[in-house]
Amino acid sequence: MTEIADTPSPDVPGGAAGTGLDIRSLGQLLYMGAIGFGALALLLWALAQWNEGGAGEAVDAVTGTITLSLFGEPPQLDSTRGTDAVSFNILGHTMEGLLRYDADNRLVGGVAERWQIDDAKATFWLRPDARWSNGEPITAHDFVFAWRKVLDPLNASEYAFILYGLKNAEAVNRGEMPLESVAVFALDDRTLEVHLERPVPYFDKLVAFATYNPINQAFYESREGRYAADADDLLFNGPFTIASWVHGASIRLEKNERYWDADRIRLNAIDYAYFTTDSNAIINLFKDGKTALAGLVAENLDDALQRRWRIKRFSDGAVFFMEFNHREDRLTRNYHLRKAIQVVNDSPELVYRVIKLPGNLPGASLFPVWLKGVDGYFRQEYPLADPPPDDDLGRRHLATAIDELDLDGPPTLVMLVGDSPTAKKQAEYYQNVYKQKLGIDIKIDAQIFKQRLAKMTAGDFDIVMAGWGPDYDDPMTFADLFASWNENNRGRYSNAELDEAVDIARSSSDPATRMDAMAKVQQILYDDAVIVVNYERGSVYVSHPRLKGVVRRAVGTDPDYTGAWID
Amino acid sequence: MAEGTLSWERVEVEREVETVARPSLSYWQDAWIRLRANRRALISLYLVIALMAFTVLGPFVWTVDPAAQDLDQISVPPGADRVATVVDDYRPWDGATATPIEGDGGELAAPGAVEIADQATTNAVRLYWDPVAGAGGYRVYRNKYDPEPDGALGLPIGEILSPANVSFEDRLDLKAETYFYSVVALDGAGREAVGYTTVTADVTRVITAAEALDKGLIEDISDVAPGDTVKMAFHPLGTDYLGRDLLARLMHGARVSLFIGIVAPFLFVIIGILYGSAAGFMGGRTDQVLMRFADFVVALPFLLFMILLRILFNVESGDSGVGPMLVAMVMLSWPAAARLVRGQILQIREEGYIGASRLLGAKTNYLILRHMIPNTMGVILVTLTFAVPSAIFTEAFLSFIGMGVAPPTPSWGSMCNEGLKTMLTTPHELIAPAAFISITVLAFNLLGDGLRDALDARMRATE
C-alpha cells in the first residue's frame, strides 16, 4: 500500500548545490562507502566459505572418503524403535545383526558364525571375534536384552510384530506375560537359542532385519534413557561408527577398526554432508561434484542424457496401490463400486505416460516380480491374469453399485494421498480418469506422511494411495498385509478365506504349499478388488564414475556402501 | 470653458469577459481528461478491460475443458507439430523367445543383431535380438543421443531376467523423435557385459482410430483408415504435465485470481470507508479507541490467521480454500483504507465550506454524504486500484503454497507452482501463468498511478 501524504511535497531542484554538502565530504562519503561495501562483501564471502566447511569432494581417494546426501536427519537410531528408511540405512552401516546380506544378496553370517533353524527352534553360534566399538565382546545376552526391549510394551516398538514368530512374543508385547517369558535364551555367551511359536520357514531372513540387532545392556542402561540420542549415546558393532553427528545438518561415518570383518571395508569414511529431500537439490549437488550418488526424477532425465551420465537402475522392491476403506459406514465397502474402479484402471498408462521414470513397472499384483517362489520367480510360477481396462464393464459395475447403495448418481469419494509432487500428480491423474470414465468425483486429500498415517489408522478416507516395501526377502512380507489381524491393514479388510491362506503360508514348512497359499492370497486380493495395484517402484540413479561396489537392493540396507571402494 | 451639457453614458460592460469559453467540467470529467492524457494509464486500462473479457468471455470462445487430460500431448510447448498417423488398436506383444545358449564362461559378447519389429511408433517400440551365449538376461538402454564415442547408453529402460526372452517392448513416454536403443547381456549374477549393440529407431507419432474418436478428432470411426493422418487437438499455449490445455486453464484460473483480486479489495475498502469516516467524524475518544483497534488488527499475522480460518471453516485438504482466503483478506486488510479515510475526514472537517454548510443548517448525514465522502473519493479509488494487484498477488502466493484452490481447479498461483517443477525442461508451463500475473499486477498498478494523478490534483507527479 502506498502511503499518501497530506501535504504536497515541495519541488526541490536536483543536484548537490542546494543541499549544503560540499564536494570533499561527498568524496569522503563515497570512499567510506566503498570500504564498507568491500568489507561487507569480504565478510559474506568468508561466511559462505565457512558454511561449506566440513564437506569435501564427492570422492577423495587420498583419505578414502565419499560425500553423500541423505533424505534427512535419522529420526530414530535406537534399533528397537526405528521404523524409517533413513534410520535403517544408518543402522545398516553401523550395526550388524546375526545375519546380513552380501553384495550378491545372499544371506551370510554377521555376528553369528553358524546357525540352525528347524520348525520348533533356531540356534545361533556367535563369532568369538565380534566386538562392540568399545572393545567388549558381543554376547548372546546382548540379543536377549535387545529382543526383550523390542517386545516390552513400555518401549512401544512399532516393529514388535516382526518378532511375533518367537514363542510367547505376542502375549508379552500385549503385556499379558512378563518379559522373561519371551523364548529367547543365552545358553552361554556365544550360543543363542530361540523357541518358535510356530514354524517360521523364513526366520533366517527375519534376523537380518534391523529390529533384531543386539544392544549392549550395560551401555544402554548407562545412558539413562538417552540411548541413541547422539553419536556418544550409541555403541556400534557394524562396519562403520558415527564419528560426528550435527543434528539437522550432517552425519559422518568412519570405519570401525574393531569390526570383526574390517578387512572387507575399503572406505575410510562416509560423509553425509547434506540433508535434503529436494530432488533438484540432490541432482545439483551431484552436478557440482559435491556428492557421489544421486537419484534422478523424470524432470531431469533429459539433462542427464545430455550430460552423458552413466545411468543405472534398480528396484526398491516397493509396491504402490490404492487401498479401499472396507469399514461398515463406507461406500467403498460395496464390491461393485470397488470393482468398477478396478476394471477401468490402466496401470501402464500411469507408469508410461504420467510417472515417466524408467524402472517403474505397471502393477497388477501385490506381489512384486522380484519375489522368489518355489524354484524361480513367484510371479512367473503363479501368473496373475490382468485383463486390459474395460470401461463398459466398469460402468455396468458402477450402475449395480449405485443401485445397491441406493444413490442418486456416481458418488464423491475422498482420496487420501501423500504431499509429494509425484503423489499429487498421480492423484490428479486418477481424479480425471474416474471423472471421465465413471463420472465419480474424487476429492484429493493431500497430507504429510505422519498425518496421512494417522488418517489411515483412523479410517478417515475412502481410497488411500499407499505403498508397502519389503522388510524381509519372502513373499510373506506382503502376504499378511490384508489379514484381518494386521495393524497395517488400514482399510480393515476382513476375509476368513484370506486369513486362512495367510496362516498356511506363514506356518507351513513345505515351500510348494506355502506358495500355493500365497497365490490364493494374490487371487483373492484381485477378485474381491481389495486394492487396486498401481505400480512397482523402481528408480534410476547416477553415481560418481570412481565410486564402485555400491549395492542397490530391495531388501536390506539400500544403498549399501559397506563393500564400496574408490577406483 | 465650453458650455455644454454633460452627458453620462452608460459604459457597456463587456459581458464576454465573464462568459466561459469552454463548458464547465465536473470533477469526474476533468479526471477522465487527465487520465486520457496519461498513455501508460490508458494502456493499462485497456489491458484490464481485455483481461476481464479474457476471463468472462474467454471460456465461451475457447470451450476446452481445463481439467481434461490429453495424455498423448503431455507438456507440449506452443506450436508443436501435431500430425499423427492412424494405426490399428494397440495389442499386447508376445515378444520373441530363443533357446538359451550355454556359454563357455568367458566374457559375454554383444548381441549379434538388434532388430525393430513392426514400426516404431509412439505407442510402442518393439525390439528383438540374437541370444548371447552364456547370458543370464539382458538390459535395454535408450538414448536421445548417439552412444558413440564414449558409450553413454542412456536410460536403462528395461531389464529381462530370463535368458529365454530376447525381446523388449518400450512404451515409456515415447516422443516422435529418433532414439538409440542399446542391448547389453547380463551374466547369471546380473552383472553387465562390456559389449553392446545399438539400433536406431525413428519413432512416428500415431493414434488409434478409437482414441481419435474418443478425443473428438474425427466424426466417425469409418472416416479414417490406418495410414491416414489426423491432426491432434490444438493447444495454442501448449499443455501442462498432465496434458491439460494451458489457455483454458489460464482463463479459468483468472476467475479465481480476479474474483479474489476484485471482491476482496472492494469489500475491505467499503468497511474501511465506514469505519474511517465514523472515527474521523466523531473524533476525540471514540476516534482514539477505534483507531487503536485498527492498529491491533494490523498487527495480526495474515498467514497464521488464514490457517486458523481454514480450521474454523473446517476446510479439508481436498476442499477449496478460496472462501477462508477471502474472509481473511477482508478481515485483515481494512485498517489501511480506514486510516486513509479517517485522515481525510479529519482534514475536511475543519475546512471552511464545512463550517459554512453547518451554519446553513446542514445535518450530519448531509455533511458526510454530500461533502466528505465525495471529497475523499479520489483517495478511496486510488487505494482500491492499488489493493487489487496486491490481493491478486496474495491469492497467487497462497495458491502457490497450496492453501488456495483444490485440484483440479486451476489458479494462476497453483499453475506457477506446478510449472516451477519442470522449469528447466518445459519452461512454457511456468512462463504463461507467471506472465499473466506480472502483466495483471503491473496493469493495475499503473492504472492506480494514473488514477491518483488524475483524481488528486495535489498529488500529481512532477514529470
For residue range A69-124, what is the model confidence (pLDDT) as tens digits? 998 888 889 999 888 888 999 999 999 999 999 888 889 999 999 999 998 999 99
Average pLDDT over residues B180-206: 88
Q: Cis check for the bond before B156: say yes or no (omega within 30 of 0).
A: no
Tell whether A353 is within 8 A of chain B (Cβ).
Answer: yes
Cβ–Cβ < 8 Å for A440, A469: no
The pLDDT value recorded for residue A238 is: 93
Cβ–Cβ < 8 Å for B117, B168: no
Report the distance separating Cα B82 and Cα B73, nearest Å. Answer: 9
Question: Nearest CA to CA, how far is B417 from chain A (Å)?
Answer: 10
Tell whether A548 is within 8 A of chain B (Cβ).
Answer: no
What's the predicted TM-score (pTM) here?
Answer: 0.82
Report the distance separating Cα A11 and Cα A112, nearest Å. Answer: 90
- Residues on chain B touching A429 (C-beta within 8 angstroms): 69, 242
- Residues on chain A touching B159 (C-beta within 8 angstroms): 313
Average pLDDT, chain B: 84
Give the residue from chain A lying closest to B152, CA to CA: A308
Question: Can you give the length of chain B in residues?
Answer: 463
Q: What are phi and psi of B35, to 5 degrees?
A: -65, -40
Predicted confidence band at B459 (pLDDT cuts at 50, 70, 90)? Answer: low
**What does DSSP say about strands A269-275 and A240-246: parallel, antiparallel, or unpaired?**
unpaired
Report the distance separating Cα A33 and Cα B295, nearest Å. Answer: 38
Question: Nearest CA to CA, how far is A415 from chain B (Å)?
Answer: 9
Report the distance separating Cα A345 and Cα A335, nearest Å. Answer: 16
- Of A139, A145, A160, A22, which Cα lies nearest the Cα of A81? A160
Question: Nearest CA to CA, how far is A305 from chain B (Å)?
Answer: 6
Q: Which three cell numbers stand for residue A334?
A: 460395496
Question: Nearest CA to CA, how far is B415 from chain A (Å)?
Answer: 13
Question: Which residues 329-388 in chain B show a CB within 8 A of chain A?
Answer: 336, 340, 343, 347, 379, 382-383, 386-387
Q: Which three cell numbers stand for residue B149?
A: 564415442
- Residues on chain B touching A358 (C-beta within 8 angstroms): 155-158, 172
- Of B334, B313, B336, B317, which Cα lies nearest the Cα of B325? B313
Report the distance separating Cα B68 and Cα B41, nearest Å. Answer: 38
Tell whether B100 is within 8 A of chain A (Cβ).
Answer: no
- Across A411-506, where does the E strand assignment appear? 412-417, 441-446, 463-468
- Upper half-sphere CA count for residue B52 (Cβ side, 13 Å): 10
Question: Which residues 357-386 in chain A show a CB within 8 A of chain B?
Answer: 358-359, 377, 380
List b or e across A494-505, with b for residues whose CB sees 16 or more CB atoms inside 10 angstroms. ebeebbebbebb
The pLDDT value recorded for residue A8 is: 36
Least CB-CB distance to A305: which of B154, B158, B422? B154
Alpha helix (H) residue ranges in A223-334: 279-287, 301-306
User: Is A1 in contact with B387 (Cβ distance < 8 A)?
Assistant: yes
Alpha helix (H) residue ranges in A152-202: 169-173
* Amino acid of residue A42: L
Least CB-CB distance to A445: which of B162, B318, B402? B318
Least CB-CB distance to B316: which of A380, A428, A445? A445
The pLDDT value recorded for residue A209 is: 92
The pLDDT value recorded for residue A20 is: 42
- Residues on chain A touching B153 (C-beta within 8 angstroms): 310
**What does DSSP say about strands A463-468 and A311-324: parallel, antiparallel, or unpaired?**
antiparallel
- Of A61, A62, A69, A103, which Cα lies nearest the Cα of A566? A61
- Of A433, A436, A389, which Cα lies nearest the Cα of A415? A433
Owner of C-alpha cell 570401525: A256
Q: Cis check for the bond before A559: say yes or no (omega within 30 of 0).
A: yes
* Amino acid of residue A91: L
Predicted confidence band at B376 (pLDDT cuts at 50, 70, 90)? Answer: confident
The CA–CA distances, whole Å, from A448 to A85, A318, A443, A455 equal: 16, 19, 16, 11
pLDDT at residue B413 tops 90: no
User: Is B347 in contact with A424 (Cβ distance < 8 A)?
Assistant: no
Give the residue from chain B lying closest to A280, CA to CA: B421
The CA–CA distances, whole Å, from A270 to B144, B151, B328 equal: 35, 30, 49
Q: What is the dihedral of CA A163, A165, A170, A172, to 10 degrees?
A: -70
The pLDDT value recorded for residue A12 is: 35
The pLDDT value recorded for residue A3 is: 36
**How do the pLDDT tens digits run along chain A, 567 residues long?**
333 333 333 333 333 333 444 556 667 777 877 888 888 888 877 766 554 444 568 888 889 999 999 988 888 899 998 888 889 999 999 999 999 998 888 899 999 999 999 989 999 999 999 999 999 999 999 999 999 999 999 988 888 889 999 999 999 999 999 999 999 999 999 999 999 998 888 899 999 999 999 999 999 999 888 999 999 999 999 999 999 999 989 999 999 999 999 999 999 999 999 998 888 889 999 999 999 999 998 888 888 999 999 999 988 889 999 999 999 989 999 999 999 999 999 999 999 989 888 989 998 899 998 898 888 889 989 999 888 889 999 999 999 999 999 999 899 999 999 888 888 889 999 999 999 899 999 998 888 888 888 888 899 999 999 888 898 888 999 998 999 988 888 899 999 999 999 999 988 888 899 999 999 999 999 999 999 999 999 889 999 999 989 999 888 888 999 989 998
State the CB neighbour count (10 A cutoff) for residue B431: 18
Cβ–Cβ < 8 Å for A356, A302: no
Report the distance separating Cα A226 and Cα A220, nearest Å. Answer: 8
Q: What are phi and psi of A505, to 5 degrees?
A: -65, -30
Report the distance separating Cα B386 and Cα B380, nearest Å. Answer: 10
Local structure of residue A410 (DSSP, 8 states): S
- Of A460, A468, A528, which Cα lies nearest the Cα of A491? A460
Report the distance separating Cα A429 and Cα A423, nearest Å. Answer: 10
- Of A324, A250, A214, A206, which Cα lies nearest the Cα of A52? A250
Cβ–Cβ < 8 Å for A412, B406: no
- Of A193, A195, A47, which Cα lies nearest the Cα of A119? A195
Tell whether A266 is within 8 A of chain B (Cβ).
Answer: no
The pLDDT value recorded for residue B405 is: 80
What is this model's ipTM? 0.80
Q: In what order do the strands lie in the sheet with A240-246?
A: A59-60, A65-70, A269-275, A250-255, A240-246
Phi-psi region of A359 (alpha: psi -120 to 50; beta: other; left: phi over 0): left
Local structure of residue A138 (DSSP, 8 states): P
Tell whether A444 is within 8 A of chain B (Cβ).
Answer: yes
Give the residue from chain B lying closest to A305, CA to CA: B154
**What does DSSP say about strands A412-417 and A463-468: parallel, antiparallel, or unpaired?**
parallel
The pLDDT value recorded for residue A206 is: 92
Residue B438 burial class via C-beta count within 10 angstroms: exposed 0-12, middle 13-18, buried 19 and up: exposed
Tell whether B143 is within 8 A of chain A (Cβ).
Answer: yes
- Of B110, B91, B75, which Cα lies nearest the Cα of B169? B91
Q: Which helix (H) or strand (E) holds B394?
A: helix B373-400
Q: What are phi and psi of A69, to 5 degrees?
A: -110, 155
- Residues on chain A touching B343 (C-beta within 8 angstroms): 6
Mutation for testing the A interface, residue in B142, B172, B311, B453 having most A CBs under 10 Å:
B172
The CA–CA distances, whole Å, from B393 to B396, B412, B446 equal: 5, 10, 15
Question: Which residues 395-434 in chain A show a CB within 8 A of chain B?
Answer: 414-415, 421, 424-425, 427-429, 431-432
Cβ–Cβ < 8 Å for A432, B242: yes
Cβ–Cβ < 8 Å for B120, B153: no
Q: Which three cell numbers stand for residue B16?
A: 464576454
Residue B241 burial class via C-beta count within 10 angstroms: exposed 0-12, middle 13-18, buried 19 and up: buried
Question: Nearest CA to CA, how far is B58 from chain A (Å)?
Answer: 23
Cβ–Cβ < 8 Å for A75, A87: yes
User: Is B68 in contact with A540 (Cβ distance < 8 A)?
Assistant: no
Question: Can you give the length of chain A in residues?
Answer: 567
String of DSSP letters for B332-378? HHHHHHHHHHHHHHHHHHTSHHHHHHHHTT--HHHIIIIIIHHHHHH
**3-state DSSP call for residue B259?**
helix
Q: Which helix (H) or strand (E) holds B141?
A: strand B137-143
Q: What is the dihedral of CA B202, B203, B204, B207, to 10 degrees?
A: 160
Q: Which three cell numbers stand for residue A367?
A: 506381489
